[in-house]
Amino acid sequence: MDNAGLSASDVGLSAERLAMIPAFFQRGYLDTGRLPCMATLVSRNGQIVHQDYRGTMAFDSDQTIGPDTIFRIFSMTKPITSLAIMILFERGLIRLDHEVSRYIPAFKHTGVWNGGDLKNYHTRPVEREITIRDLLTHTSGLSYGFLFQHEVDALYRREQLGEVHETLEDMCNRLATMPLLFSPGTAWNYGHSTDVLGRIVEIISGQPIDQFFEDNIFAPLGMRDTGFYVPEDQIHRLAACYRRDPLTKEVSLVSEMGAAASHYNQRPLHLSPGGGLVSTLRDYHKFCLMFLQGGLLNGARILSPKTIEFMRLNHLPDGQTIKQLGDRTFSEVRMDGNGFGLGGSVIVDVAKSMLPGSAGMFSWGGMANTFFWIDPEEELIAIQATQMMPSGNYPIRPQFQQLVYAAIEW
């Protein structure tokens, strides 16, 4: 999986142009104090030919990041949870058209917001119940409290939905009592859908989500540094995380580095299948490479190639894109030209995306500016990571994509 002596030119990439990637981020973001660090990785044909780690573990630290640095990957957890559901799918234990209420009965009576205010709101019946595919594609009608786009989001915030004080089971049961933004399958909206998927994995498998991940994904793939917390003897490897206010531009510390990061040094009560994992670039590359290679890595068969192919299709209704379905809330990155597969975005129109790439490119990112994509046509994987929220503050994702594709020679 590492370069095994191969150079960038051996896999059709320009070493000189790959070297421009860290130089660009060093000059534009690290030297200017906009970001504490930047890690980038590129592989082609299964060979890692670019890895670079710049900057420090925290703004006030002189400890540099490296291949062993652990990052909060937030929503890059979602493709892993989606993979877990598809493992159960391949075992015949679940179908995509199954109603969620089959597993969490409280969702049988979930209605759609129909006016009012937080103290006195009205709901109407759904046109049909939420299905597993709705959860995988974010067409369920569920939302996130941090989106600040609708009264339903405000309701989530008022109820402190998904906070650390409750279990995943308790959160999902409470979520089912709150109104949906729309009837399932009629629009696209980013939200707690993947958290509900994770709870369904627990119900079907009889295992906590972290144990299912370990037994069926992390251990087989050798992802030793990926989990919902960092073991005490490894906590020193966890980078600090920051938040930049989009309006005031002020930067504040969200979570400290190493042992001071108290929320990450022990198994949390609330395991978030939608955003709770930490990982390294090398670990996440193993997940991506398995996906690129049709569900197989180093002799470990996770999924069938046909299931992987199925996941990379656009599963939005009538083949629409996210924008066509009325993307009102997801503003971290442009979604033009993107449909949605089972667990991640899928490019369906490269020109409309306004970036170089390939049809069928599968990708997603995390709130603290982590990002990956898998391009089967070019047999290309690219991953970047820093720790600055939210991910829409700087255009580092499209910039990284431009720089990587500029390095292709054949």
3-state secondary structure of 399: helix
Q: Say whether both 248 and 367 belong to one domain.
A: yes
Q: Which residues pair with 113 in a beta bridge?
A: 123
Does the residue 325 lie in any domain? yes
Q: What is the DSSP letter of 99?
A: B
Q: Establish if 390 belongs to a structural domain.
A: yes
For 3-57, the pLDDT digits (tens) are 556 899 999 999 999 999 999 999 999 999 999 999 999 999 999 999 999 999 9
Do 185 and 92 belong together in one domain?
Answer: yes
Question: Lowest-pLDDT range, 139-153, 223-237, 300-314, 322-336?
Answer: 322-336
Cα–Cα distance, 106 to 161 (Å, whole number): 16
Q: Indicate whether 346 belongs to any domain.
A: yes
In a domain, 79, yes or no: no
- Residue 294 has a pLDDT of 98
CA distance 186 to 317: 8
In this structure, are 255 and 145 located in the same domain? no
Sheet bearing 380-385, strands edge to edge: 47-55, 37-44, 380-385, 370-375, 362-366, 345-347, 338-340
Span 302-314, mean pLDDT? 98
294 and 358 assigned to the same domain: yes
C-alpha dist (Å) from residue 207 to 126, 161, 163, 247, 406: 31, 23, 21, 43, 45
* pTM recorded for the entire structure: 0.96
What is the number of domains present in the chain?
A: 2
Mean pLDDT for 112-118 is 94
Residue at a domain's end among 142, 170, 205 = 205
Q: Do residues 325 and 395 share a domain? A: yes
pLDDT (tens digit per residue) in 346-362: 999 999 999 999 999 99
The pLDDT of residue 327 is: 63
Give the DSSP per-residue string, 350-361: HHHHTSS--TT-
Is residue 382 domain-resident? yes
Closest by alpha carbon to 87, among 290, 300, 304, 297?
304
CATH number at residue 52: 3.40.710.10
What does the pLDDT average to over 310-321?
96
Full domain range(s) for residue 374: 8-70+225-260+278-405
Q: Is it the case that residue 76 has pLDDT exceeding 80?
A: yes
Same structural domain, 248 and 387: yes
Residues 162 and 307 in one domain: no
374 and 238 within one domain: yes
Comparing 391 with 216, which gets the higher pLDDT? 216
According to the model, what pLDDT value does residue 261 have? 82
Do 198 and 98 sit in the same domain of this protein?
Answer: yes
Phi/psi-derived region of residue 341, left when phi > 0, alpha when psi is between -120 and 50, beta in every other case: beta
* Same domain, residue pair 229 and 192: no
Q: Are 321 and 329 in contact (CB under 8 A)?
A: no
Same-domain check for residues 137 and 233: no
> Is the model's pLDDT at 2 over the cut of 90?
no
- Which of helix, strand or coil describes residue 74? helix
More confident residue, 189 or 326: 189
Residue 272 lies in a domain: no
CATH of the domain at 149: 1.20.58
Q: Answer whether residue 265 is part of any domain.
A: no
Q: Is residue 151 a part of any domain in this protein? A: yes
Same domain, yes or no: 252 and 378: yes
Q: Which of 194, 177, 174, 203 is nearest to 108 (CA)?
A: 177
Give pLDDT, residue 208: 98
**Which residues, 6+ apart, have CB-to-CB distance to 118 below 8 Å?**
151, 154, 155, 158
